[in-house]
Structure 1
Amino acid sequence: MADLDARDVPVDPTSQERLSASRLEYRVVDLSDPAQLRGFARADARGFLDKEPDDETIRVMGEMMSGRRNIGVYAPGADLPVATVDSWVTPMTVPGDAGAHLDMWAISIVTVAATHRRRGIARNLLEGELRAAASAGVPIAGLTATEATIYGRYGFGPAIPVSRVRVDARRAGGVTLPAADGATTVEYLEPEALLAALGEVHERARLDRPGDIPGWPLRWRRMAGLVPGDERSRAVRGVRAVDADGGTRGVLAYTLDELPDEFGADFAIRHLDAETPEALRALWAFAVNHDLIRTVHADLRPIDDPLPWLVANQRAVQTTVHDHGWLRILDVPAVLGARSYRAPLDLVLRVSDPLGLAEGSWRLRVGQDGKGVIDVTTDAPDVELGVDALSSLYLGGVSAPTLRAAGRISASAETAAAIQNAFGTAAAPALTIWY
């Protein structure tokens, strides 16, 4: 885990000055103050179209957000902020040996009240977060976006695409497991055991998945159906995949949504994590082969999830790929030096940045050992690109030839292919949670 505590980083003075000129106060929110906590929680609910939070919901949110850097923007004399954002520093897995990671400034709860749109507040929130992260020495920022058209202007690039899948269980023909998988079994879990398994399996599994980050207690409580006020909590069920030694190697939290016109249900996956291929196959078989199921639904699956190859009829699996994890590089040498590469490479990158944080030219040399050496250079560039495009390329989940074809990077076809050979990964990056 990162040593830096984002709560120790002061508000960005540039954003503070800009918002002050509009008679808006931009400050860290003290969640130990019940009135400030209530206002922040209410603003969060308003921004994400949730119902007004009750006292217990506010308490639980405060418990989660107390470990984060919470920022509010306030109109004169108001207790309820007109805008919010929170952030924390977390390890993000990067390509390399198991457990290789990079400290990331995670950004969440970005809201602006409908009464205060188009006043530059969102710009100052996002730019303020990026300047604060850079000033603290954090080399990259990340977020998951409810809207896809907002964050590119600040240098973020979609870097971790994921799949939303829908399986017609009646047409799929079932999942037939290899005989060797017989040692892996599936067992039901009680809610508290499900809660423990969700956190434990994710923490181990994420170490092998570039792009993934640790979860937090409230997330696992929500997935396990143990959060007060969650109307679907009583419908949550859970199972685990157990190996021959009795170890938990996979976990699945789900609900069964009854069909209105027949005896049956749709199987909705809330969270699915697996450390081994055997555990993943066992959990997919449990879902798809479940009695009386019409469809199985899941989101946030890696784009190379083997599900279509597990069922007898691939046409029963509908897959929709969508953006999920967005990254924003702040320190090019630190970021490029943190990961391993699949092929040797020697090229000069010219990076443009609307905020100037990652602007510059660097030579990246990758040897046969997959390690990169990055130096500042004045040599002519082999590739020119924005920080958003470099951020998209970073984990290997977005193709350099694709970005070249879209006009997002300027390079020869040969150079784009060489970048792809070096940056590409055997397994697709993954981010199995929202934050």
Structure 2
Amino acid sequence: MSSPHQTRPIDPESARRLAARGLRMDLVDTSDAEAFARWHVVDARGFHESRPRPESIAALVEGVAYRRTTGVWDDTAVDAASPVSTVSSWPVQLTVPGERSVTAWAISSVSVAPTHRRRGIARAMIEAELRTAHAEGVPVAALTATEATIYARFGFAPSAMAATWKIDTRRASWVGPEASGRLHFIDAAALQQIAPTLMERVRLQFAGEIEHWDHLLDRMLGIGIDDQERARALRIVRYDDASGEAQGFALYTIAVSPTDFSSNTLTVEYLVAANDDAYAGLWRFMFEIDLVGQVNAPLRSIDEPFSWQVSDTRAITKTAEGDHLWTRILDVPAALSARTYSAPGRFTFTVTDELGYADGTFSLDVDASGLGVVRQVDADSGEVDAAAPDQLRARVSLSVNDLSALYLGGVSAVTLARAGRIVEHVAGSVAAIDASFRSPVAPWLGIWF
């Protein structure tokens, strides 16, 4: 049975714009295996991946059929049955500060065929997604971007960063806590029994993580993908606490050096730890595997505790630090009231949004428990001042991009103000926003979508 987000009619504004250019925008019926398979082939081509084998397409079709799947067709093309552009979207739970969740519109698989560049297709597709999300009442849109220059024009901004860590294990002896539990090698079937529950527990610990879908774990394990060599090379280790309850797991591979067998490279493909004990047990295991000279850990948090759990901090380097999760606020009151805050305060934000969704002036009043009440107000009516006559109200102006960057608490308001992106109208406002919006744990998303 289709979900409402799958069957909502295609956005008429974008459809009209593309039709004027001789292009047809439409939904893909995900129950039509042949049409959905064609869409997946074009999606893979758009990201320079090999053409999927039929069995891989079958797994994809089954795994993501719940998503709203859109394409653009050129009926004059030689292969008129295949789209020239793709996008996929679905509502998902996004973790926000306070171990709470907000519904986000996840946007994925954005591609345009190189034969159809500069025809306004990408803009039409993204704007259609935002209008659809807004019509569905979803307060935030989110995506992971392969290119950093595309999405700011639509109001998105980086809000959770990621980094690759490299550890020289010949220098980095473990000095962190002694884990209380034990580790076990397990197979994919055993992991599938425990992973969904563990992944959801950990999701709530990090602002920026999203609710995982069933096909994601299969993809991590190499089930139904073309790279069978990688799937066979994957190792899975589970961490159980002292009582025998699973508290974490890790997937890793080892690249064997052709010249020095004692200096192989281990790559941590994915690691989940539900508590600090499991974190120490799993990372110590990675650092101390024999015949490994370097551990690489891509797509990790920019603030990993293990960098403080080794004897030589210079044995660890952080590289490729940069944007990963991009968010875009569509409904300011719903988005800001969904999270908690680190300090009380009274704030007024005047937000500019070229697309109109978040445009306006909003008051945010945060109480001592960290909960916020948000209202849209008339900036010229004096209503804001009347709401807080006895207390200074912080006042700033900023774009929806910058409010979206601040949203998860990983980007500094002070930094944005120094960059000229936030205008402070009352002295001390930016510092007050920083204190309230910051997240005690760096926002992080450990996957691509």
Tell me which amino acid in the other structure corresponds to 1:259. Answer: S
CA distance in 2 between partners of 1:208 and 1:339 (Å): 13
Counterpart-to-counterpart distance in 1, 2:299 and 2:429: 31
Specify the alignment match of 1:86 in structure 2.
88
Deviations 1:37-81 (A, max 9, x none): 221011111101011111111111111220100000000151111
SS at match of 1:52: coil
Task: Please name the residue that 2:438 is paired with.
Answer: 424
Of 252-261 and 299-308, the range deviating more from structure 2: 299-308
Q: What's 2:204 paired with?
A: 207
| Of 339-348 and 278-287, the range deviating more from structure 2 | 339-348
Gaps spanning 5+ residues in structure 2: where? 381-393
Aligned to 2:386: none
Matched with 2:358 is 358
Match of 2:383 in 1: none
Can you give the 5+ residue segments of structure 1 that lack an aligned partner in the other structure?
none
Shift, 1:281, TM fit: 0.9
Query: Aligned partners of 1:71 and 1:33: how far apart in 2?
Result: 13
2:202 and 2:3 mapped to 1: Cα distance? 24
CA distance in 1, matches of 2:61, 2:30: 7
Q: Any idea what SS the aligned residue of 2:153 has?
A: helix
Deviations 1:318-373, CA, capped at 9 Å, x for gaps: 11321111000000000011111111111211111121111110111112121111
Does structure 1 conserve the Cα–Cα contact (< 8 Å) formed by 2:97 and 2:340? yes
How much does 1:424 deviate?
0.7
The percent identity for this pair of structures is: 43
SS at 2:368 equivalent: coil
- Aligned mate of 2:259, from 220, 240, 261: 261
Match of 1:270 in 2: 269
Change (3 A) 1:239 1:5: farther
Aligned partners of 2:52 and 2:226 also within 8 Å: no
Give the counterpart of 2:416 among 403, 410, 416.
403
> Does 1:223 find its partner at 2:220?
yes
- For 1:280, the equivalent position in structure 2 comes to 279
**Cα pair 1:329 1:358 within 8 Å, conserved:** yes
Q: Say whether 1:414 aligns with 2:428.
A: yes
SS of equivalent residue, structure 1 residue 208: coil
2:250 corresponds to 1:252: yes
Aligned length: 428
CA RMSD of aligned residues (A): 1.6
Equivalent residue number for residue 131 of structure 2:
131
Matches within 5 A, 1:302-341: 302-320=301-319, 321-341=321-341
Normalization by structure 1: what TM-score?
Answer: 0.95
Q: Is the 8 A contact 2:253 2:266 kept in 1?
A: yes
How far apart in 2 are the matches of 1:407 and 1:4? 43
| Distance in 1 between residues matched to 2:322 and 2:206, nearest whole Å | 18
Q: Write the distance in 2 (CA, Å) between the matches of 1:212 and 1:421.
A: 22
Instruction: Tell me if the contact between 1:5 and 1:89 (Cα under 8 Å) persists in the aligned partners.
Output: no
Q: Could you give the per-residue CA deviations for residues 18-54 of structure 1, whole angstroms, max 9, x where no partner exists?
A: 0111111101001222331221011111101011111
Look up the match of 1:166. 166
Give the SS at the match of 1:170.
Answer: coil
Q: Do residues 191 (structure 1) and 188 (structure 2) align?
A: yes
Q: Give the C-alpha shift of residue 258 in structure 1.
A: 0.8
Q: 1:267 to 1:413 in 2, by over 3 A?
A: farther
SS at match of 2:333: helix
Runs of 4+ in 1 over 4 A off after TM superposition: none
Q: Deviations over 1:384-415 (max 9, x none)?
A: 11111100000101000011111111116621
Q: Distance in 2 between matches of 1:184 and 1:243?
A: 4
Partner of 2:349: 349
Give the distance between the partners of 2:286 and 2:195, measured in 1 at CA.
17
TM-score by length of 2: 0.92
Kept in 2, the 8 Å contact 1:224–1:237? The answer is: no
How far apart in 1 are the matches of 2:108 and 2:248? 27
Contact 1:401/1:413, CA 8 A, preserved across alignment = no
